[in-house]
Amino acid sequence: RQAAYAALRDVEPVTKDGQRITLMMNAGLRDDMPNLALTGADGIGLFRTEFQFLVSATLPARERQTRLYREVLETAGDKPVVFRTVDIGGDKVLPYLRHDDGEGEENPAMGWRAIRVALEREGLLKAQARALLEASAGRTLNVMFPMVSEPWEFDAAKAVFEGQVAFLKARKKQLPEAIRYGAMLEVPALAEQLDVLAPRLSFLSIGTNDLTQFLFAADRSNPKLAERYDWLSPSILRFIRRIVRSLEGHAVDLTVCGEMGGRQLEALALLGVGIRRLSITPAAIGPIKELVRKIDLGGIQAAMDGWLDAPPPNLRAALEDWTCRHGI
């Protein structure tokens, strides 16, 4: 099968009814980069910058960050890379970056993490902004902020980047040709204010790993709950369909970058609720491309709308049955 997927490398992910789907891959380390050429993915839809911090014994100096980002962009060539600013804190505690009170947290996933840390430790975000801006000189920089809960957090993080742009401009340094700012939608509260934030966004990426744990109030790392809530739940899929609909008419690229998009039935369901861009683990690019080429988008969209309006007792079984009937 590996050989079959390799053969699909240069084939486009186009559905039977002619819709081009964007399939990007998730990455976080230099070592992930060769997968971009191997899989033929359309780009890096999520580069988890915290990995460099997690494998380092001390806070990575700005120059080291710049070097990594530059190498990533050079390897990617013409393909886009979306850099996510650090998602540390919470359960990814770094010895060199602790909460002032030095205490552990009862609920780290809902705690001091991601953009919450970045906006408080502004020096950290400033250094990362400079590193990303310098590494992207003459190219497009795509940057997104994790765990945005309210529009003002996006604005504040963007302002830190714009401050660094002004700094570099004043010193006559070469800037990126374009800067595209995006947010991750992982906290359900943001969906309620998406109409407010949308005009300021170039793109939005739904992080279904965190979004699911917050929608179901179910810790994503607790094995006792792993089987209890299905990604193919009408609650999740209706939620995502609502996000798709609320972005209609806005020039915002919408991607799903959680693990969900790398699984067959889940990817099918996401396409069925209107998602056209997925960023998934490299090993899933071939299998999902194969799936995309077998489906009739109009058909799955009509089926999903029916199922979400009047949910069957088991949506997973309904989807499985649909794939069998369509020879998938």
DSSP 2-48: HHHHHHTTTS--B-TTSPBPEEEEEE-SGGGTHHHHHHT-S-EEEEE
Number of shown-chain residues binding Mg ion (CB under 5 A): 3
The length of the chain is 328
Rounded Cα gap, residues 267 and 245, in angstroms: 18
Return contacts of 264-267, CB within 8 angstroms, 24+ apart. 264/288, 264/291, 264/323, 265/232, 265/316, 265/319, 265/320, 265/323, 266/231, 266/232, 267/291, 267/292
- Token pair, residue 8, equals 């699909």
Which positions lie near ligand PEP, rule CB under 6 A? Answer: 46, 48, 87, 186, 207-210, 257-258
Instruction: Give the residue from 109, 328, 99, 85 showing the smallest Cα distance to 214.
Output: 109
SS3 56: coil
CA distance 175 to 189: 34
Closest approach of Cβ 257 to ligand PEP, in Å?
5
Q: Which stretch binds Mg ion (CB under 5 A): 70-78, 133-141, 179-187, 307-315?
A: 179-187
Residue with smaller CB distance to ligand PEP, 42 or 50: 50
The least CB distance from residue 110 to ligand PEP, in Å, is 13
Q: Which residue is nearest to ligand PEP (CB)?
A: 207
Residue 82 β-bridge partners: 142
Q: C-beta of 86: minimal distance to ligand PEP in Å?
A: 11
Nearest 5°: the CA angle 29, 151, 163 is 65
The site partner of 32 among ligand PEP, Mg ion, none (C-beta below 5 to 8 Å per kind) is: none
Least distance CB 41 / ligand PEP (angstroms) = 16
Residue 258 binds which entry of ligand PEP, Mg ion, none, CB below 5-8 Å type-dependent: ligand PEP
Least distance to ligand PEP from the beta carbon of 210, Å? 3
CB nearer to ligand PEP: pick between 87 and 266: 87
Give residues 186-215 in contact with Mg ion (rule: CB under 5 A).
186, 207, 210
**Nearer of residues 40 and 261 to ligand PEP, judged by Cβ:** 261
DSSP-derived 3-state class of residue 251: coil
| Pick 81 or 257: Cβ nearer ligand PEP | 257
Nearer to Mg ion, 206 or 300 (CB): 206
- Please, what is the minimum distance in Å from the beta carbon of residue 203 to ligand PEP? 14
Closer to ligand PEP by Cβ: residue 45 or 60 = 45
CA 287 to chain centre: 19
Residues making contact with Mg ion (CB under 5 A): 186, 207, 210
